[in-house]
């Protein structure tokens, strides 16, 4: 009977294959972000969003705060 117990890796793999996985992950991420933003960790959360991220190819450089990357880049991909 012990062979009928699934290892945690199989459970995670099966969960990721669900059609609703993306929505569940987005929902959990939003809840965690709201909890962190309204906790004593809020200053660390703000510092993370203010962190500068740069991409450079030769003399071409894009240098923005992480919040702007999220707003400009990831939201454009999301709505695409």
Reported pTM: 0.57
Q: What is the pLDDT of residue 3?
A: 63
The answer on 55 and 22 residing in a single domain is no
- Average pLDDT score over the chain: 87
E strands, the chain, in order: 52-57, 60-65
Q: What is the pLDDT of residue 9?
A: 83
The answer on 66 and 48 residing in a single domain is yes
Contacts of 1 (CB under 8 A, 6+ apart): none
Q: Domain residues for 66?
A: 43-80
The answer on 50 and 63 residing in a single domain is yes
The answer on 50 and 17 residing in a single domain is no
Q: What is the mean pLDDT of residues 16-39?
A: 89
Share above pLDDT 70 across residues of the chain, in percent, rounded to a whole number = 95
The answer on 49 and 20 residing in a single domain is no
Q: What is the pLDDT of residue 5?
A: 75
The answer on 76 and 59 residing in a single domain is yes
The answer on 47 and 29 residing in a single domain is no
User: What total number of domains does the chain contain?
Assistant: 2
Q: What is the pLDDT of residue 2?
A: 56
């Amino acid at each position: 009977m012990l062979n009928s117990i699934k290892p945690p890796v199989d459970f995670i793999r099966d969960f990721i294959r669900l059609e609703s996985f993306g929505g569940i992950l987005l929902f959990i991420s939003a809840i965690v972000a709201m909890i962190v933003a309204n906790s004593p960790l809020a200053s660390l959360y703000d510092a993370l969003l203010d962190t500068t991220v740069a991409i450079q190819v030769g003399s071409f450089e894009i240098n923005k705060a992480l919040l702007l990357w999220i707003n400009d880049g990831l939201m454009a991909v999301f709505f695409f």
